[in-house]
């Protein structure tokens, strides 16, 4: 199963609304990088509002997506990380330093705009 990627002007929007198993996460990584390349996107918002659980592998894949996109010239903001997910991540020692985050899709887009202007 693939996670749909929406193009909105110079940004890509992704709302993860299925369970992220390892295979889906890796496919998503490939898809988003290809889409950034195709569309020449300057920024990406990945919304995790519907994600109940992130393990260390998925966290690494998401962190890698941010680094890889940055290398390609696109900023990534993760949004909507649930309290339970934040607790699990920090308990596992995964602090995702250097990964911009925001509360929801709207604030993610605003943050992206600020980062691209600033």
The contact set with a second copy (CB under 8 A) reads 1-2, 4-9, 13, 15, 17-18, 47, 50, 104-106, 109
CB of 9 to a second copy, least distance (A): 6
Q: Which two tokens stand for residue 94?
A: 């995964």
Specify the residue, 1 or 71, whose C-beta has the smaller distance to a second copy: 1
Q: How far is the CB of 35 from a second copy (least distance, A)?
A: 11
Nearest residue (CB) to a second copy, 31 versus 64: 31
At closest approach, how far in Å is the CB of 1 from a second copy? 7
CB 79 within 8 A of CB 103: yes
Pick 49 or 94: Cβ nearer a second copy: 49
Pairing assessment for the beta strands 11-15 and 5-8 based on DSSP bridges: antiparallel
Strands 11-15 and 43-47 turn out to be: parallel
Q: Tell me whether residue 50 or residue 70 sits nearer to a second copy (CB atom).
A: 50
Instruction: Kindly state the smallest distance separating residue 39's Cβ from a second copy, in Å.
Output: 12
Q: With 0-12 CB in 10 A as exposed, 13-18 as middle and 19+ as buried, what is 32?
A: buried
Closest CA to 17 of 67, 80, 106, 61: 80
């Amino acid at each position: 199963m693939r996670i749909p990627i929406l193009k909105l002007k110079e940004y890509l929007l992704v709302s993860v609304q299925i369970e992220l198993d390892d295979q889906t996460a890796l496919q998503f990584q490939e898809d988003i990088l290809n889409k950034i390349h195709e569309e020449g996107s300057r920024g990406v918002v990945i919304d995790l509002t519907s994600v109940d659980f992130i393990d260390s592998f998925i966290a690494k894949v998401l962190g890698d997506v941010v680094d890889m996109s940055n290398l390609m010239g696109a900023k990534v903001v993760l949004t909507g990380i649930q309290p339970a997910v934040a607790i699990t991540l920090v308990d596992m020692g995964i602090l995702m330093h250097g990964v911009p985050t925001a509360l929801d899709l709207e604030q993610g887009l605003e943050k992206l705009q600020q980062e691209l202007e600033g």
